[in-house]
Amino acid sequence: MIDDAVFLARIQFAFTMAFHIIFPSFTIGLVAWIATLEAIWLSTGRERYYLLARFWTKIFAISFAMGVVSGLVMSYQLGTNWSRYSRIIGNIIGPMIGYEVVWAFFLEATFLGIMLFGWNRVPRALHFAATVTVTLGTTMSAFWILSANSWMQTPTGFEMRDGVAYPLDWIAIIFNPSFPYRFSHMMVASYLTVAFVVAGVGARYQLEGRHPELARTMLRMGLGLAIVLAPAQALIGDMHGLNTLHHQPAKIAGMEAHWENDGPVPLVVLALPNEKAERNDCLSSWPAPEAFCGRSASLIALGSICSRCAGAGHSALSRSSQAGRPPRSAANHGSRTASCVLPMRPPLFRR
């Protein structure tokens, strides 16, 4: 398996993506929080919000730079690791990535200088406007990247000619069936990440007795945001999973390690998929078979412990063709550790 070029390409791309996503998932929410701090400072005049905004702007600058550098590597790997795939979908993904660069990255880069170096050099209102513009740029960057990624999972609004995808309806392409769930899931995840990081830093300062007023402010704002967004994220994640179950049932089967689907299925906590024997080795399901918890996957996916997942389009791996199956080990273990941009390709894009 280690000699397989596709497997090696997946490993390399997964490593690059796993490293890159750390920084956008932090900076998207962080710059929005900095803008909030500036807005409160301008409206109340309280110095602690100004000091917090200055402090977190430095952290944002470092994280933003790391995101840009790692993102460039990832974009090049789309061509080096997935050259044939890029040729097929280039007419659609190419413009969308171009929109991300022109609409978002250029917008961020233009006003980032004012945001970083304009403190006490430009009017406060202008600096606040620059921060808000950078916030808008990061949001638009997430919009276009998530739209492109979602289209690769649920492609619509195109036609195939001579093995190449051509756009027919850009509205359908941009707002494809999985995009609303993926975009909202990513944005809330970013805000939640910042909420916990800010609260953690505030807690550390509070325990050490340093900057108590700033520490309490970070704790209150971070925990307050987390209390609101954490339940919302659980709801959005559930809707995203149901959307994936409807449009990509084989992916759900691979993620959950379901080889058979003759009845209510358990929630597999840990398994080593055996592709040759079409079964799971070292199976650990939550927590007992046949009883209520043995049907927990049916409950999560369909809201009923008596439902067969096939009723919603779930196809068991053993009944899927080899060409239509995602890589089982990668899908199963990856779904329990991290997200992957290219977990599987739609059948019409296969070699």
pTM of the model: 0.80
Q: Identify any residues that bridge with 29 across adjacent strands, giving them in sequence order.
A: none
Residue 110: its pLDDT value, please?
85
Residues present in the chain in total: 351
Please give the C-alpha separations between residue 13 and each of 8, 80, 297, 327, 337, in angstroms, as whole numbers. Answer: 9, 10, 30, 15, 15
Residue 256: its pLDDT value, please?
75
Domain boundaries defined on the chain: 5-247, 251-349
Q: What is the mean pLDDT of residues 140-148?
A: 94
Side-chain-side CA neighbours of 81 within 13 Å: the count stands at 20
Long-range CB contacts (within 8 A, 24+) of 328-337: 328/254, 328/257, 328/273, 328/275, 329/272, 329/273, 329/275, 330/10, 331/251, 331/254, 331/255, 332/254, 332/255, 332/256, 332/257, 332/268, 332/271, 332/273, 334/14, 334/255, 335/255, 335/256, 336/270
Residue 337: its pLDDT value, please?
46
Residue 245: its pLDDT value, please?
86
pLDDT band at 340 (very low <50, low <70, confident <90, very high): very low
Residue 323: its pLDDT value, please?
56
Number of Cβ within 10 Å of residue 65's Cβ equals 13
- Residue 32's contacts (CB-CB under 8 Å, 6 or more residues apart) are 135, 138, 139, 191, 194
pLDDT band at 3 (very low <50, low <70, confident <90, very high): low
Nearest-Å Rg of the Cα atoms of the chain is 23
Lowest pLDDT segment from 35-44, 93-102, 117-126, 148-157: 93-102
Structure tokens that stand for 270 in this block:
């840990």
Residue 31 near residue 190, CB atoms below 8 Å: no
Q: What is the mean pLDDT of residues 272-296?
A: 59
Structure tokens that stand for 228 in this block:
């609101």
DSSP sequence for 64-129: HHHHHHHHHHHHHHHHHTSHHHHHHHHHHHHHHHHHIIIIIIHHHHHHHHHHHH-TTTS-HHHHHH
pLDDT exceeds 60 at position 93: yes
CA–CA separation, 176 and 269 (whole Å)? 31
Residue 6: its pLDDT value, please?
85
Strand, helix or coil for residue 273 = strand
pLDDT digits (tens, 9 = 90+) for 205-233: 999 999 999 999 999 999 999 999 999 99
Q: Mean pLDDT for the chain?
A: 81
- Of 290 and 30, the structure prediction assigns the larger pLDDT to 30
Residue 329: its pLDDT value, please?
52
Q: What is the mean pLDDT of residues 240-259?
A: 82
Residue 74: its pLDDT value, please?
87
Residue 255: its pLDDT value, please?
78
Residue 316 near residue 260, CB atoms below 8 Å: yes
- Rounded to 10 degrees, the C-alpha dihedral 133/137/142/144 comes to 130
Q: What is the mean pLDDT of residues 181-204?
A: 96
CA–CA separation, 102 and 139 (whole Å)? 13
- Of 288 and 160, the structure prediction assigns the larger pLDDT to 160
Residue 306: its pLDDT value, please?
43
Residue 150: its pLDDT value, please?
95
Q: Identify any residues that bridge with 268 across adjacent strands, giving them in sequence order.
A: 285
Residue 169: its pLDDT value, please?
95
Number of Cβ within 10 Å of residue 43's Cβ equals 9
CA–CA separation, 55 and 310 (whole Å)? 52
Residue 322: its pLDDT value, please?
57
Q: What is the mean pLDDT of residues 336-340?
A: 42
pLDDT band at 261 (very low <50, low <70, confident <90, very high): low
